Amino acid sequence: MRNIAVFASGSGSNAENVISYFKSSNAMIRVAVVLSNKYDAGVHVRAERLGVPSFTFTNVEFKEGSLILRKLSEYETHLIVLAGFLLKIPAVIIEAYPGKIINIHPSLLPGFGGKGMYGDYVHQAVVAAKETQTGITVHYVDEHYDEGAVIFQESCPVFPSDTADDVARRVHELEYKNYPRIIEKLLSIS
């Protein structure tokens, strides 16, 4: 069994998609645990509904790292998957899981990445810049926001009449379609 730990800060739609994908398609891979920095994050409700344990940690516990590393060890984690997780991963966790932490970003990096560029902020910036395409980037996590090696990218169009919500819908479709497949591929070759 290959175990995934999902880190999420928000509603958890990407986390739910990943959990559901592996529950229905691959008995050798599962989301074993969900970890969040927010007690009221919607991801906890989704995880509970899908039978996956979830835990909340404080920012101090996260930066120090030992509690997080114990949880990851307890659940025999093979891959850490960020799904709408907004904190920078501390060095102690990156060092413990080299090349085993991935993130999905809602743009074609290196464009529209970095600190503060997440969710609707990215889509608003794409529309304001009058881009003709955007997309998703799955990348390894390193010590800098959105600078780890790119694993996968897929684009979608941005039309002149698009709002940030229009762009978000197209990007979410790409996320839901591709993130579980990329995770599965990474766990199959590691």
**Which residues belong to the active site?**
105
Q: How far is CA 115 from the centre of its chain?
A: 15
CB 137 within 8 A of CB 107: yes
Q: Which of 71, 86, 82 is nearest to 32 (CA)?
A: 71
